[in-house]
Amino acid sequence: MDTSYMLHTDTARRLYALVQNLPIIDYHCHLSPEQIDADLPFDNIGEVWLAGDHYKWRLMRAAGIPERYITGDAGWHDKFIGYISALELAAGNPLYHWSQMELALYFDVRLPLAAENAEQIWMQANAAIADRKLSPCRLMQMAGVEYAATTDDPVDDLVYHRRMRTDGNLKCRITPSFRTDKVLQIRQGGYAGYIQKLGEVCGFQIKSLEQLQRALTDRLDFFVENGCRFTDVGIAAFPEVVGDEAGANAAFRKALAGDPVNDREYAAFLGWMYVFLAGAYKQRGLVMQWHLAAYRNANTLLYDLCGADAGGDCIGDCICADWLIRVLDAIHRSSGLPKTVLYTLNPAMAPQLCSIAGCFPEVLCGAAWWFCDHLRGIRAQICNIAEIGYLGSFLGMLTDSRSFLSYARHDYFRRIFCDVVGGWVENGEYDATAAQKLVRSVCYENLQRLTGDIR
For residue 130, what is the domain's CATH number? 1.10.2020.10
Amino acid symbol at 332? H
- Residue 437 within a domain: yes
- Residue 190 within a domain: yes
Distance between CA atoms of residues 418 and 365, nearest Å: 19
Say whether 42 sits in a helix, a strand or coil: coil
Number of structural domains (the chain) is: 2
Average pLDDT over residues 254-277: 97
How high is the pLDDT of residue 57?
Answer: 97
User: Tell me: the pLDDT tens digits for 178-229?
Assistant: 999 999 999 999 999 999 999 999 999 999 999 999 999 999 999 999 999 9
CB-based contact 431:385 (threshold 8 Å): no
* Model confidence at 418: pLDDT above 70: yes
- Whether residues 107 and 161 share a domain: the answer is no
* Model confidence at 319: pLDDT above 70: yes
* Model confidence at 454: pLDDT above 70: no
- Residue 2 within a domain: no
Closest-CA residue to 292 (of 241, 340, 344): 344
- Whether residues 101 and 249 share a domain: the answer is no
Domain of 282 in residue numbering reads as 10-42+135-451
Average pLDDT over residues 164-177: 86
How high is the pLDDT of residue 127?
Answer: 98
- Residue 259 within a domain: yes
- Whether residues 162 and 272 share a domain: the answer is yes
- Residue 3 within a domain: no
- Residue 26 within a domain: yes
* Model confidence at 166: pLDDT above 90: no
CB-based contact 430:401 (threshold 8 Å): no
Domain boundary among 118, 134, 150: 134
Non-local CB neighbours of 210 within 8 Å, separated by 6+ positions: 249
Average pLDDT, the chain: 96
- Whether residues 16 and 85 share a domain: the answer is no
User: Tell me: the pLDDT tens digits for 74-94?
Assistant: 999 999 999 999 999 999 999
Distance between CA atoms of residues 79 and 62, nearest Å: 15
Q: Which residues pair with 145 in a beta bridge?
A: 24
Average pLDDT over residues 247-259: 97
User: What DSSP element (H or E) covers 23?
Assistant: none
How high is the pLDDT of residue 261?
Answer: 96
* Model confidence at 440: pLDDT above 50: yes
For residue 427, what is the domain's CATH number? 3.20.20.140
How high is the pLDDT of residue 455?
Answer: 33
* Model confidence at 303: pLDDT above 80: yes
- Whether residues 90 and 154 share a domain: the answer is no
Non-local CB neighbours of 257 within 8 Å, separated by 6+ positions: 192
Q: Which residues pair with 292 in a beta bridge?
A: 344
- Whether residues 124 and 146 share a domain: the answer is no
The three-point CA angle 373-378-379 to 5° equals: 155
User: What DSSP element (H or E) covers 291?
Assistant: strand 287-292
Domain boundary among 101, 116, 134: 134
Other C-beta atoms lying within 10 Å of the C-beta of residue 352: 16
User: Tell me: the pLDDT tens digits for 224-241?
Assistant: 999 999 999 999 999 999
Domain boundary among 82, 104, 134: 134
Assign 170 a pLDDT band (cuts: 50, 70, 90): confident
Number of separate helices (H) and strands (E) present in the chain: 21, 10
pTM more than 0.85: yes
- Whether residues 80 and 141 share a domain: the answer is no
Three-class SS of 97-122:
HHHHHHHHHHHCCCCCCCHHHHHHHH
Assign 126 a pLDDT band (cuts: 50, 70, 90): very high
- Residue 4 within a domain: no
- Whether residues 125 and 206 share a domain: the answer is no
Assign 2 a pLDDT band (cuts: 50, 70, 90): confident
- Whether residues 179 and 203 share a domain: the answer is yes
User: Tell me: the pLDDT tens digits for 340-368?
Assistant: 999 999 999 999 999 999 999 999 999 99
* Model confidence at 417: pLDDT above 80: yes
* Model confidence at 420: pLDDT above 90: yes
- Residue by residue, DSSP assigns 148-191 as EE--B-TT---HHHHHHHT-TT--SEEE-EEE-HHHH-TTSTTH
- Whether residues 400 and 293 share a domain: the answer is yes
Using only C-alpha atoms, the chain has a radius of gyration, in whole angstroms, of 22
Amino acid symbol at 236? A
How high is the pLDDT of residue 1?
Answer: 66
- Whether residues 109 and 161 share a domain: the answer is no
Non-local CB neighbours of 73 within 8 Å, separated by 6+ positions: none
Amino acid symbol at 258? G
Distance between CA atoms of residues 186 and 189, nearest Å: 8
- Whether residues 290 and 173 share a domain: the answer is yes
- Residue 101 within a domain: yes
